[in-house]
Structure 1
Amino acid sequence: MGASLRVREDISQAATAEASGGARLLIHRQFHSRFLPDDRDITVYLPPGYEEEAPRRYPVLYMHDGQNLFDPRTSFVPGRTWQVHTTADALIEAGEVEPLIIVGVANTGERRLAEYTHIRDGKMGGGEADKYGKLLMQELLPFIHANYRTLTGPQNTGLGGSSLGGLVSLYLGLKYTAVYGRLAVHSPSLWWNHENILAFVDDRHRMARPRIWLDVGDAEGKRTLADADRLDRRLRAKGWRTGIDLHYERVEGGTHDEAAWAERVGPMLRFLFPATGADRK
C-alpha cells in the first residue's frame, strides 16, 4: 500500500495507565511513506468500549504534531501535552462526545515547517503540504481503515492541529472536502507567505463546507487575532453558519502552547463530534 508497519506495540505502561475506561493508546513506529523522506510514529487512541463492542465502527480524527498529544515524554514542551486521550475518555463516558478514534501523526522535526505549509515562501522555504496530504490520504487513511474498525466518508473523517498544524488542516480540509468533513483549526499560522491562505479560501467556489472549529487565544498577539478574525469573516462570507457548521472562539487569556490547546480539546470535540444518541450508519 506504499506505507509499511514496522512495529506495532502498546505505548508505554505509564502512558497507558493515564487512559480510563479501557481506552487504549497504540503506537505504530516509523510509518514509511513513498512521498516524503522521513518516517514518523503514528499513535492511535481507541475509545472506551472499543474492545468490547466488536461490531461497532467509529469516526476518526487525524491530528498533526502527534508527539504533543498524549505522551508527556515526547512533547515539544517536556511534561506538557494536549491530554487528548484523557479528555476524550471523560467526554465519551459522560455521553457528550461520540466515541471516536483519534490518530496522532508525529511531525518530523526540522521538516515540520515544509510539510505543514501549502506554498513555498521566498525566505523560509516550505511548500510540501500537498506531499504530506498524499501521505495522509493515500497511505495513512487506508492503513487505519484496514487495521481498525472505522467509519468512512467525510462526515466521519476529521483533521486537526495547531499553529502550522492548524494552517495545514485548513488547507487540506478545504482542498479535499470529499475526504475531510470536520476540521479542528487551533491558533492557525495564517501569516504564512503574506497570508496566502486567505486568498486560497476566497478562491474556493461551490465546494462542500466541512464543519470547522476555529479558535485563537487573545494573548497570542494582535496579528494572530486579526488574522483569525479575518478568516472567520471570510468563511461566513462563503456560506459557513456560526453555531451550525462553524464555531469561532477567541479564548480569554489563551496562549500559543500545549497547555492552552489542551484546554480547547474538550470544546472542540463537543462541536465536531457531538453525541447523537445513535450510531452513525
Structure 2
Amino acid sequence: MNLEVETEPQGPWTAAKKPACAPGTEGSPHPRLRLHRAFHSQFLAADRDVIVYLPPGYDEHAERAYPVFYMHDGQNLFDPSTSFAGRTWQVREHADAAIEAGEVEPLVIVGIYNTGDNRLGEYTHERDWQRGGGDAAKYGRLITEELMPWVAQRYRVRSDRASTGLGGSSLGGLVTLFLGLRLPQHFGRLAVMSPSVWWNHKSILGYLNEKAPEIWERPRVWLDVGEQEGKRTEQDVELLARRLKANGWKPGENLHVEKAPEGRHDEDSWAARMRPMLRFLFPAP
C-alpha cells in the first residue's frame, strides 16, 4: 500500500493535502489519517515524516478538544508499506474499536517516523562507548519545542500534561521513560513497552532514581514485556517495575505492569497490547 499525498511547504513542514491510506485498503484513502512529509528540526539533522490519527467523530464535533498521544517509530503504526517486515501495530483499528466501545476517551495519535540510521542516536539518553547514541535530549526538544506547538496549532488537542502521552517500544520504550522523567511538565501518560533497559549498563535505572524525587506528580505508566522476548529482557523489566514502585509509583493507580505470555519482540505482539494499553492510559471518563 502506498501513502499518496499532495504537499505544500508550511515553515519547516510539508503538510499533507490528502489523507493517508488506511492499512489494508490498497490505495483507498482513510479520511482520519493525515500524513505530513519532511519535518525539519533545528535540533537534529535528519528530516522525518509524521502521521496523525484523528478519532471517530473528530470532524463532526468542531467544538471538542482531545488528548494527544505521541508515539515513536511512526512508520510501524499504520501502514504495512513502511513498517518493519510489513507488520503494523494496527493503531487505527485498535483505537477505533476501543473508542467506539466506550473503553477509551477519543484521542489524537501522532506517529513520529524514525530516521533510519539515526534511530539509535535519537532514542538513547546517553552515549555508549561501543554503540554511540546519546541524542535523546535533542529529540525531546524536537517533540516539545517544535512538534507539539505545531500540532496544537493545526489540530484540536489539549496541551496540558495530564492530556498528553508519549509511547514506544524497545529503544522507543527507553526514550519514552527518559523523556517522561526529564520532561514531566509535558507528559502525564507513558507507554513503556518492551523497553531496552539494558542500554549502557542499565543506566536508565540510575536516572530514574535521580529524577523521580524531583517530579511533583508521577506520570501514569504502562510498562510491559513479552515472556517470549528472552529472560534478560523480562528480568530487566521486572527490575524497572521494582524501581518505579520504590520511587512512588502505585500499581493500579499510576502504574500497570503487563507480562504477555505469548509476547515477542515484534510488531504483532505490540499490536496485541495496544488496546489494553490505551484503556489504562486514556480511560473513558
TM-score grouping bracket, smaller chain normalisation: over 0.9
Question: Over aligned residue pairs, what C-alpha RMSD do you find?
Answer: 1.5
Partner SS, residue 99 of structure 2: helix
**Residue 140 of structure 1 pairs with residue 151 of structure 2:** no
Pick aligned residue for 2:128 from 110, 115, 121: 121
**Residue 243 of structure 1 pairs with residue 252 of structure 2:** yes
Pick aligned residue for 2:76 from 64, 68, 74: 68
Residue in structure 1 matched with residue 3 of structure 2 by the alignment: none
The CA distance in 1 between the partners of 2:22 and 2:14, in whole Å, is 23
Contact 1:3 1:139 in 2 (8 A): no
Residue in structure 2 matched with residue 47 of structure 1 by the alignment: 55
Aligned-pair distance for 1:27?
A: 0.5
Residue in structure 2 matched with residue 109 of structure 1 by the alignment: 116
The CA distance in 1 between the partners of 2:196 and 2:124, in whole Å, is 9
Aligned partner of 1:252: which letter? P
Aligned partner of 1:82: which letter? W
Aligned-pair distance for 1:23?
A: 6.1
Aligned partner of 1:242: which letter? P
Specify every segment of 5 or more residues in structure 1 that has no aligned partner in the other structure, as ranges: 277-281
Pick aligned residue for 1:56 from 35, 54, 64: 64
Residue in structure 2 matched with residue 28 of structure 1 by the alignment: 36
Within-5 A mapping of 1:244-263:
244-263=253-272
Contact 1:16 1:25 in 2 (8 A): no
Partner SS, residue 161 of structure 1: strand
Q: List per-residue Cα deviations over 1:59-86 (Å, max 9, x = no partner).
A: 00000000000001100112x1000011
Aligned partner of 2:43: which letter? F
Give the total of aligned pairs.
271
Partner SS, residue 13 of structure 2: coil
Pick aligned residue for 1:130 from 124, 137, 159: 137
Partner SS, residue 80 of structure 2: coil
Shift of the 102–16 alpha-carbon distance from structure 1 to 2, 3 Å rule, reads: farther
Contact 2:33 2:54 in 1 (8 A): yes
**Structure 1 range deviating more: 2-11 or 83-92:** 2-11
Within-5 A mapping of 1:1-281:
4-15=12-23, 24-78=32-86, 80-204=87-211, 205-207=213-215, 208-276=217-285
Task: Give the structure-1-normalised TM-score.
Answer: 0.93
Shift of the 172–234 alpha-carbon distance from structure 1 to 2, 3 Å rule, reads: same
Contact 2:20 2:31 in 1 (8 A): no
Task: Give the structure-2-normalised TM-score.
Answer: 0.92
Aligned partner of 1:222: which letter? K
Partner SS, residue 28 of structure 1: strand
Aligned partner of 1:53: which letter? H
Aligned-pair distance for 1:175?
A: 1.1
Partner SS, residue 273 of structure 2: helix
The CA distance in 2 between the partners of 1:13 and 1:186, in whole Å, is 26
Aligned-pair distance for 1:174?
A: 1.1
Residue in structure 2 matched with residue 279 of structure 1 by the alignment: none
Contact 2:19 2:31 in 1 (8 A): no
Contact 1:163 1:187 in 2 (8 A): yes
Q: List per-residue Cα deviations over 1:123-163 (Å, max 9, x = no partner).
A: 00000000100100000000000000011111000000000
Aligned partner of 1:112: which letter? R
The CA distance in 1 between the partners of 2:201 and 2:24, in whole Å, is 42
Aligned partner of 1:9: which letter? K
